[in-house]
Structure 1
Amino acid sequence: MSNKKVAGTCYIKVDGDQLAVTGGVEAPLTDVEREAFKTSAGVHYSETDVIPYVKVECVVPKDFPREAITKNDDLTVTAEFANGNVYVLSGGFLVNPAALKGDDGKVELEFNGEKGIWQ
């Protein structure tokens, strides 16, 4: 029997600390972004590198590793998706303001890093 599960619970670890994921988890499938343009000689494209990243929404319990996540700039972020795919971001650091929402106790985090590898 084959595994046809493609969505469901995802797991995120930041330097070994597991976060309580509540929303979506996102990681890039490609290392480059292509933009097409048309010329008199046909369609061509340019390529730019994509910065490796992991985006996640999670709840913030009392023991949330806030200082480690907000201060460190060499994190390893591991995203395990429900379909079994795993994305590992190395040299990671938090980007964009991360604000804790008091009404639901959640925070949206975005990590960028040096290298992202699908395993």
Structure 2
Amino acid sequence: MKPTTIIQTAAIFGAVAVGIGAFGAHGLKPMLEAAGRLETFETAVKYHFYHSLALFGLGSLALIKPEWNKLGLSYWGFTLGIMIFSGSLYVLCLSGITWLGAVTPLGGVAFILGWIGLFWGGYSKK
């Protein structure tokens, strides 16, 4: 995975996290509170933002350490984790489709694989 692609992905996810977070805090707050989903929405935004920052760090690391060429698992783990974990929670909060709660842990597993991929990328070095 090219470092610039990783950084651009981080930038897009970061911008979306800020937008969704602001919209949730201002425009959706009454609806989320009424549904008892404000905390769930905030969790989705937090993990979305944490892993956007992790992607930025990953891209920066890939620029500094090009010999660490096995960081693709980390990229895909973080990317899919944001889409599945945070995405399923966003849809759950906004639609009330409760079966999406069963999908959310798959995003958590993707996040874990992303962190393991970061370890592997630094360990193997080639």
What TM-score range do you get, normalising by the shorter chain?
under 0.3
Say which one has the larger Rg: 1
Between structures 1 and 2, the one with greater strand share: 1
TM-score, length-scaled by structure 2? 0.25
TM-score, length-scaled by structure 1? 0.25
